[in-house]
Amino acid sequence: MAARARKKNLPQEAFRAHIDSFAHDGRGVARVEGKAVFIDGALPGEDVTFVYTSVRRDYAEGKVEEVITPAPGRVQPRCPSFGVCGGCSFQHLTDAAQIEEKQKLLADQFRRIGKIDEVPLWPPLTGPHWGYRHKARLGVKYVPKKGRVLVGFRERSSPFIADLESCPVLHPKVGERLRELSELIGSLSIKDRLPQIEVAVGDERTALVFRILEDASTDDLERLKAFGMRFDFDIYVQRHGPDSVIPHYPEHPPMLSYALPNQDIEFRFKATDFTQVNVDINRKMVDRVMAVLDPAPHDAVLDLFCGIGNFTLPISKRASCVVGVEGSSESVKRARQNAEANGLGNVEFHVADLSQALNDAEWATRRYDKILLDPSRAGAEEVLSYVPRWGARRIVYVSCNPSTLARDAGILVHQHGYRLIRAGVMDMFPQTAHVESIALFEKA
């Protein structure tokens, strides 16, 4: 009731504000009558008029009505759905300015959260700014009033699916086929019982996993097959949980794959496995990890949150031995398969919840020369208490959340005696405020 009241009683007129900075999600931050206001579509340095979308006790939210004084880095967004679709938040900013803001945010988080000043930064890793997304989960919604099915990302700050004709950040094989996907689903008898499509693009094949809430008819299945044949997609159907995913066309499709050419390794994966969304940046990221971790023939290396072995396998080609640990048993299964397929015998994988105590795990009682961390957005705080036991002289931390990276950096530096040598941004998600980064720590 309180939330509805705040919406109902919002001021209707537009207000003027000067934008002082960026928030972590890409919104501009202004102060109006002493209160912080987070404004969609505003850039630092701009004077704008805005309308309130939410007012709370400690802060407020709004959206730009008019840009009075544009920032030097402002550009016309490429996508006509920008501002409505929640998939992107930075298309109104030049590519160079996006990187600059992400580097600033990373350094600011180290100072503010980690209490670490003057962190040397690597040059950012950059790649294609459009058509880079090889993984995505698309929402699907049949809207009778529109007489069509919507396929795409959710609207900004809304549960509704944005009305998209195409998506320029998705791999073009899928991003330029949203209209055709809409028409396909609209032709099915279960068009109102199909809530999402999982997209996975490999180096040679593209898979679409259709989540369905009731059994498809024979005619539905024929239409899905025809769509796969027409546009060269592998079609999968998921009736229940992840274990229920089955191939529909072809009947026995080969697994998807991606290569790391500089490491001479190829990974095979299922459409529902976690892999990095940006293949170009992933290759550069692995190369940078190898350069800064610098595994040597005598090194024992621990790779935590290892997934399907994206870093583990390259490390194993240069280290004495590598231990990969991951919470998902399915990912560990895939990692073992990929190690065997690449002829790598000096690597072992374990399933473990790294947010829980590890006292009984044999691998956790060993000592390691070097450690790689690549956690989820929640970070690695719980597992850092074991770092003194492992005794590593060098730690490389790959992060998808600069706030938790900065928090964990503070723990490593102020509690465990490491020095933060260098850090930098890896632009895994251009056109968004998402910051992927890497940091190198060495024992002081």
Please name which of 129, 97, 99 lies closest in space to residue 424, comparing C-alpha atoms: 99
DSSP state of 125: B
Upstream peptide bond of 295 is cis (omega within 30 degrees of 0): no
Return d(Cα 389, Cα 368) in angstroms, integer: 9
Per-residue b or e along 63-72, where b marks 16 or more CB atoms closer than 10 Å to that residue's CB: bbbebeeebe
Q: Given the residues 88, 167, 306, 400, select the one marked as catalytic.
A: 400
Rounded CA-CA distance 91/75 in Å is 8
Dig out the tokens for 229 from the structure.
Answer: 């044949």
For the range 229-236, what are the long-range contacts, defined as Cβ-Cβ under 8 Å and sequence gap of 24 or more?
231/173, 231/177, 231/180, 232/206, 233/206, 233/207, 233/208, 234/205, 234/206, 234/207, 234/208, 234/271, 235/207, 235/208, 235/210, 236/198, 236/207, 236/208, 236/209, 236/210, 236/271
Secondary structure element (H or E) that encloses residue 426, with its range? strand 418-426
Could you give the CA distance from residue 64 to residue 37 in angstroms, rounded to a whole number? 11
Q: Is 79 a catalytic residue?
A: no
What is the SS3 assignment for 336-388? Answer: HHHHHHCCCCCEEEEECCCCCCCCCCHHHHCCCCEEEECCCCCCCCHHHHHHH
For residues 7 and 157, the answer to whether their CB atoms sit within 8 Å is no
Contact 216, 190 (CB under 8 A): yes
Q: Would you state the torsion angle of the CA atoms of residues 172, 174, 179, 181, taken in this order, to the nearest 10 degrees?
A: 170
Q: Which residues contact 357 (CB under 8 A, 6 or more apart)?
A: none
CA distance 237 to 211: 6
CB 280 within 8 A of CB 132: yes
Lookup: tokens for 291: 């350069």
**Cα 153 from Cα 140, distance rounded (Å):** 9
- By annotation, the residues acting in catalysis are 400
